[in-house]
Structure 1
Amino acid sequence: MAAVLVIAGDILDHLCLRSALRMLDRGGDLPRLKLFTMLSAGVQAVTIVAAISLAWDSFGAHSEPLLAIAMLTGVAVNGGVALPFHSGAAIVRMGIYGAAILVQFGAEFLVVDQDLTKTFANFLGALILAYTVYLFTRAVNANFLSSQATTLELMQQRQKLERTNRELKEKQIEARKLALVAQHANDSVIIINSDGLIDWVNNAFSEITGYSFNEAVGTAPGALLNAPDTDLDVVAHLATTILAGETFRGEILNQHKQGHQFWIETNQVPVIGADGEIEMVVAIERDISAMRQHAMELEAAREAAEDATRAKSDFLATMSHEIRTPMNGVLGMSDLLSQTTLNDEQNLFVQTIQTSARTLLGLINDILDLSKLDARRMELSPVVFEVHACFSDTIRLLRGQAQEKSVGLSVDIDGTVPRWLLGDDRRIQQILFNLVGNAIKFTETGQVTVRVTCERNCKNPVLRFEVEDTGIGIPEAKLDKIFERFSQAEASTTRRFGGTGLGLTIARMLANAMDGEILVRSEVGQGTLFTVFLHLDPVPSEVPIQERNAAPMLLIDPKSGEPEHVSRDTLRVLVAEDNKVNRLVIAKFLKSMPVEVSFAHDGREAVERALEQEPDLIFMDMSMPVMNGLDATREIRAKCPVQPRIVALTANAFESDRDACLAAGMDGFLTKPLSRAELLAVLEKLQPRENHRMQG
């Protein structure tokens, strides 16, 4: 029966523990499972105590507790050994075992007639056995805990060793990969030790420098590779940078083993050790000789292009001057000839000469504008201008051309357009003139309409104007072509209507220069619509608004700000002009005017006559022998006690020429060919009204 009880208790406890493990795997509550297993341990202990009690009492009146005490000792030792694993269950077991001994001895003393001395001796023996069990259990648990700590330490060390071995293997793999990359890289890789000597180089180093691995290792890079022309300042800067622990990147001239020189781009990185000292330097170098050669070729090509541009500009300036000079004679003489008595045929001949000359002059102006736009030398001159006058004046100039073809021409300016804007009105008029002139040229019947509106883009106004005609129209496939230089929509257009095909090109480039654009929409046989958007600036409140004078030049008294006039009825005019035909034209233009005209053939003579005659007005050519017009003007301004007005009269038509003349001290700028009306407009400003001359 005792054996059955013990086996049953063991089976019950075993089943409870297995069930607790399964519940723990499923996420059971650990404190509750501990209570559950403590209960099963108590049940097992009770079954063992009951079995021992049966064994104790089996001897009847002659019971000997030695067997029972020995059994309790055994199970107590067994329970104590389990103390490190489940202290609660072990304490429950041992408590039940100790209580069983006490109960058994108490019952024996009170119930059974037992010798007191013998009972005391048995109790004392039981205590000694209990103490022995305690010492044994304590020693076993201490040894277990020590062994467990040692095992844990060994496991941790093994894990650390495994981790270290794993990292070492990874680093070895990484180092092998890096070695393969460095060995097969296209760039030269050099490892330099702390003594400044080469430890390792890759294959690319040998290919670039011509030195093998064995030839390079153990030598200083500079001693091996520096060329006689290597910049020593760069080498010194490299050494200083590396010693400071910083990365160096630069270009150095090296010398190949075979003697030829080549350029490298080097990137050198110092590797700092734990002690803060440089352990090695890793240098990655690339041959950039071809790149530098290409850069030099590009620089040479750029300089050649700039030289070509300058030559082109000089050529255009020269051609402009050389063509405008005889053109001045052609137009001037034809103008004078038209004022004489001519029959119809002669009058037709004169008009043909004038029309052809003006067409040629327009072509020259277009080519000059195009060259300046190409070279980005077209400078805008923003002024405060009146929008209505800008458009109305341009339309007025073209109205006669429209009337000759019986084509209507109108301009509609929306009420939202501000009266004043800040922009280059001369260039706006040039765009409008080209577009409207084209519209009139390609319109046989109908109407050309100009509509002007103004939009707002943030704070800046966007001037928008449309030029719409009822002309021949443009095929859709040709719309992109019309803005190309020397190009028109159809080859037959040039033969039928004439023109060079530069007007629209210049108009678009001028619009782009003003951050604008030109859009076109057309239908063959129905007409064309050009829409221009120009981004202008609002008029600053601190800038006074003044109407722009459209006269060809201004002569202003610097003191009063009013047009200057002289006291004499006859003006003294000095013309400094080296071309005989131009002198003749100007003399004819001024023949009917109340002026005294004298001529100077070069700049030096102009200065001398200015000092002698004290003229009121000097027409000064820029390009003259002996002394040019700019130097002559400066000398006149410096020496003449009575300062004349000096107006440039030149075939140099660039904006830079105008600026140069004004900077030299001239008061106005007229370009050849010069019309009689322009010349008389200058003299009209000097007609006598007041007794006033500027002293200087």
Structure 2
Amino acid sequence: MDHPASAEVDSLAAFERRFSRRGLLARYARGRLKHFANRQVMTAAGALVLFFVNGPAYGLAAVGFALLGEAIDCLYLRSAARRLRQGSAYRQIYVISTVTATFQAMTIAICVGLCWFGTNSSESSLFPVAFLAGAAINAGLVLPFHPAAAIARLLVYSAMLLIMFGSIWVVDHRLASASVMDICGALIMTYLVYMFLGFVIRGFRENVSRTMELTAKGRELAAREKEARQLSLVARNANDAVILSDTQGRITWVNDAFTNITGYPMDEALGQHPGDLLNGSETDPETVRDIARSVSLGVPYRGEIQNTRRDGSLIWIETNLVPVLDDKGTLEMMVAVERDVTDARRHAQEMADARRAAEEGAREKADFLATMSHEIRTPMNGVIGMADMLGGTGLTAEQTQYVDTIRNSAEALVKIINDILDMSKLDAKKMTLTLAPFDLRACLQEVAALLSTQAHKKGLTITLDGLDSLPGQVVGDEGRLRQVLINLIGNAVKFTDVGGVSVRVRNMPVSEGYRIEIEVEDTGVGIAEDQLNAIFDSFVQADTATTRRFGGTGLGLSISRKLIDAMAGKMEVRSTAGAGSCFRFAVTLGRAAEQEHADPSKPDSGDLNRLQGRRILLAEDNRVNRMLIEKYLADTPVELRFAHDGQEAVDETCNWHPDLILMDMSMPVMNGLQATEYIRAQSGPQPVIVALTANAFDRDRAACLAAGMEGFLTKPVRRSDLLASLMHHCSPPQGADTG
């Protein structure tokens, strides 16, 4: 059975088809065909009158003309009705049917003329005028359906009326009183025909207008009914619970999802308040009050509330409460759409727990790395420092080889620690770049010179091309760029046995500075194509044979790419196994004034007289490190004292008043940060405090500077770096002779 709304839509569509242009034309054709017989009654009556009044010839002629016009018109309209159903062109049918209507009207006009000009019937003007009026009424009735055909017929009949009464003037050259009366009667009859047709047409139009209005309302009602039906289907089949409540808050309807979520069937829910049915001891009273306030005020509410299912289990519900108002703004009902978010909240809690666990793991990792760094750097400071001191004591060639081995091994271990710390900072996105002016050409030359000894031992060459295109000064992080160059050129030397390493540089000025492209190409072992994407992964080398032969942690390339990424650059590689590799990267460096930029942290270390009379306090709990610093400063004109912990450093500062304190961070009793903060809180002259620590993280540097320190040195520290820092922070005492 069809739904009422569907039937209404079908009837509306049928009405629109009936009153369309094609529909009206089809109705005109069908109407003309349907009433053919009725029209012939009037034709037959007129023909009989002429037959008996004027003779058989007049009657037969009238029948012949009338039937000829009707036949031509109806035969075409019969085919036109069929063609309209088949979708033929509307305009062609409309025009031709107008022509056939005109021809049919002309045959009727001829019949009227036979009556008007007949031998005997001409004595009475009433019959032909009445016949013509009937034909005009018949023509006017189809005006709403086929305006052109109706107007054409009326024009023909009007012309015939003029011919009829005009003939009186032509014959008699005057109008008798009877003729005048006939003309007036004809005009009155014409007016009555006009009024009648006007009434009929207005009625038709009003009927169409009312029907169209009803159609529009019916369409609107049908749309509303369809929408209501669709909403009903949505509500019934929704996965979310839907609750309808009256103005008193009592449940009037629920969908199946409500039963699935809460366990309550509709018959148990009807007439109850949702809160009375679902709220339990665990439900938040404040949320209950907020919902009740929204219901009483008729305003929307959205929030989460804990409810109790029919079986007593607890669930979390996200409710969206919406008031439904009538046209006057009066509350009709409340609609609540509720969703079970128990699993979502559980998942969110699990994600929060996982995030906290990950953060805790990251903190533990950072703490482990910091501890490992500190514990390894502290003894490495003694190993490297003492190796340096031992190397300057006039050793034999064999002893020098032993010392170099110790130093190189210790430095390799420190490099591994530095790589791991760098990787940790890059993975945590905590690597910060230090931007400052530097000489890029000198940076490249220094790296090449640093690695040239290793290359010469293997019989390799390192060539630099394109240095002339470089600007004098650029702005960037020289240390990190140097680290990348050392990694790439050092790898090229390490993995090459024959040939050499070529470093090509290209400078492309851009709006923000210089776009620097650097290629490092070697003639070494190369990399297989299937390994190219993996070589930038952490702790990965091209194959295990490479690891056994050349060693290494597999961190250098990964760190280099991430450093270039941090500089907003890009690193690429192309290689063929057995034919060498080419690493290429591009970075953008800023512009700097073309002038010499002296690094204040590295002044001329030969001018040790600047340290004359300076009091230096070393706060260090490790005996080896105290001995190393003492050896480093043995030939400098400074006074050196030691403090074994932070408390001793504070006491020595108060009693001895040093000019500079080398402060370790990790010490017993009081650590370096606490000691620094205590010293800075005291009144009177303040010493320069420089951190000398195995804690090498950026956060350690920031903590030292925040505590009040002016400098930061990491272990293992080289003698040249220590002296440079002392001379940077210590100016000669007033009145001292600087030589």
TM-score bucket (shorter structure): 0.7 to 0.9
CA contact (8 A) 2:508 2:514 kept: yes
Distance 2:696 2:219 in 1: 83
Distance 1:248 1:688 in 2: 71
The within-5 A match list for 1:153-164 is: 153=206
* Cα shift readout 1:401-437 (whole Å, capped 9, x = no counterpart): 2233232123234444333322211111111111111
Which is further off, 624-633 or 170-179?
Answer: 170-179
CA contact (8 A) 2:306 2:314 kept: yes
2:155 matches 1:88: yes
Displacement of 1:379 in angstroms is: 1.2
Distance 2:687 2:604 in 1: 14
2:707 matches 1:657: no
Displacement of 1:316 in angstroms is: 0.8
- The equivalent position to 2:276 in structure 1, one of 223, 226, 242, is 223
Distance 2:683 2:466 in 1: 51
Counterpart amino acid of residue 387 in structure 1:
L
Q: For residues 329 and 32 of structure 1, do their structure 2 counterparts lie closer, same or farther at Cα, with a shift above 3 Å needed? A: same
The within-5 A match list for 1:108-119 is: none
CA contact (8 A) 2:609 2:637 kept: no
Distance 2:446 2:66 in 1: 117
Displacement of 1:270 in angstroms is: 3.3
Distance 2:206 2:731 in 1: 119
Distance 2:608 2:394 in 1: 35
Residue 239 of structure 2 corresponds to 186
Displacement of 1:459 in angstroms is: 4.1
Q: For residues 659 and 289 of structure 1, do their structure 2 counterparts lie closer, same or farther at Cα, with a shift above 3 Å needed? A: same
- The equivalent position to 1:668 in structure 2, one of 691, 711, 718, is 711
Residue 524 of structure 1 corresponds to 577
Residue 26 of structure 1 corresponds to 93
Residue 480 of structure 2 corresponds to 427
- The equivalent position to 1:635 in structure 2, one of 678, 682, 701, is 678
2:412 matches 1:359: yes
CA contact (8 A) 1:633 1:664 kept: yes
Displacement of 1:196 in angstroms is: 3.0
2:72 matches 1:5: no
SS at match of 1:673: coil
Residue 502 of structure 1 corresponds to 555
Displacement of 1:375 in angstroms is: 1.3
Q: For residues 16 and 612 of structure 1, do their structure 2 counterparts lie closer, same or farther at Cα, with a shift above 3 Å needed? A: same
2:586 matches 1:586: no
Residue 597 of structure 2 corresponds to 547
Which is further off, 508-517 or 403-412?
Answer: 403-412
Residue 507 of structure 2 corresponds to 454
Displacement of 1:343 in angstroms is: 4.3
Counterpart amino acid of residue 78 in structure 1:
F
Distance 2:463 2:186 in 1: 127
* Cα shift readout 1:136-189 (whole Å, capped 9, x = no counterpart): 787677566556655665566566657766765665555444433322222212
SS at match of 2:95: coil
Displacement of 1:93 in angstroms is: 4.5
2:198 matches 1:198: no
Counterpart amino acid of residue 625 in structure 1:
P
Which is further off, 136-145 or 504-513?
Answer: 136-145
* Cα shift readout 1:422-453 (whole Å, capped 9, x = no counterpart): 22111111111111111111122322122222
- The equivalent position to 2:658 in structure 1, one of 615, 624, 645, is 615
Distance 1:73 1:428 in 2: 119
* Cα shift readout 1:19-76 (whole Å, capped 9, x = no counterpart): 578598634399988886775554333211232x2467xxxxxxxxxxx43xx43332
Structure 1 unaligned regions, length at least 5: 57-67, 111-119, 556-562
Displacement of 1:566 in angstroms is: 8.0
Distance 1:676 1:567 in 2: 16
- The equivalent position to 1:405 in structure 2, one of 458, 471, 475, is 458
Counterpart amino acid of residue 507 in structure 1:
S
Q: For residues 358 and 552 of structure 1, do their structure 2 counterparts lie closer, same or farther at Cα, with a shift above 3 Å needed? A: farther
* Cα shift readout 1:191-231 (whole Å, capped 9, x = no counterpart): 23344332211100111112211222222333333344444
Distance 2:58 2:293 in 1: 91
SS at match of 2:311: coil
Displacement of 1:366 in angstroms is: 0.8
Q: For residues 453 and 597 of structure 1, do their structure 2 counterparts lie closer, same or farther at Cα, with a shift above 3 Å needed? A: same
2:122 matches 1:45: no
Displacement of 1:578 in angstroms is: 1.0
Q: For residues 443 and 635 of structure 1, do their structure 2 counterparts lie closer, same or farther at Cα, with a shift above 3 Å needed? A: same
CA contact (8 A) 1:565 1:686 kept: no
CA contact (8 A) 2:112 2:132 kept: no
Distance 2:626 2:337 in 1: 75
Which is further off, 483-492 or 530-539?
Answer: 530-539
SS at match of 2:534: helix
Distance 2:347 2:539 in 1: 35
CA contact (8 A) 2:527 2:581 kept: yes
Displacement of 1:261 in angstroms is: 2.3
Residue 324 of structure 2 corresponds to 271
Residue 340 of structure 2 corresponds to 287
- The equivalent position to 2:646 in structure 1, one of 589, 603, 607, is 603
SS at match of 2:665: coil
Q: For residues 484 and 133 of structure 1, do their structure 2 counterparts lie closer, same or farther at Cα, with a shift above 3 Å needed? A: closer
Q: For residues 177 and 615 of structure 1, do their structure 2 counterparts lie closer, same or farther at Cα, with a shift above 3 Å needed? A: closer
Residue 9 of structure 2 corresponds to none
* Cα shift readout 1:550-586 (whole Å, capped 9, x = no counterpart): 856999xxxxxxx999888443221111112211222
2:266 matches 1:213: yes
Q: Alignment identity in percent? A: 41
CA contact (8 A) 1:564 1:692 kept: no
CA contact (8 A) 2:660 2:730 kept: no
CA contact (8 A) 2:614 2:733 kept: no
Q: For residues 129 and 310 of structure 1, do their structure 2 counterparts lie closer, same or farther at Cα, with a shift above 3 Å needed? A: same
Distance 1:411 1:242 in 2: 80
Distance 2:632 2:607 in 1: 22
Residue 149 of structure 2 corresponds to none
Q: For residues 6 and 396 of structure 1, do their structure 2 counterparts lie closer, same or farther at Cα, with a shift above 3 Å needed? A: same
Q: For residues 299 and 632 of structure 1, do their structure 2 counterparts lie closer, same or farther at Cα, with a shift above 3 Å needed? A: same
SS at match of 2:136: coil
CA contact (8 A) 1:2 1:50 kept: no
TM-score (norm: length of structure 1): 0.83
* Cα shift readout 1:670-693 (whole Å, capped 9, x = no counterpart): 111223333344455589867469
Distance 1:568 1:427 in 2: 31
Distance 1:685 1:396 in 2: 27
Distance 1:35 1:9 in 2: 17
Counterpart amino acid of residue 623 in structure 2:
K
Q: For residues 131 and 335 of structure 1, do their structure 2 counterparts lie closer, same or farther at Cα, with a shift above 3 Å needed? A: closer
Distance 1:288 1:511 in 2: 45
Distance 2:735 2:355 in 1: 56
CA contact (8 A) 1:188 1:204 kept: yes
SS at match of 2:110: helix
* Cα shift readout 1:326-351 (whole Å, capped 9, x = no counterpart): 11222223333333354454443333
Q: What root-mean-square deviation, in Å, do the aligned CA atoms of Structure 1 and Structure 2 show? A: 3.8
TM-score (norm: length of structure 2): 0.78
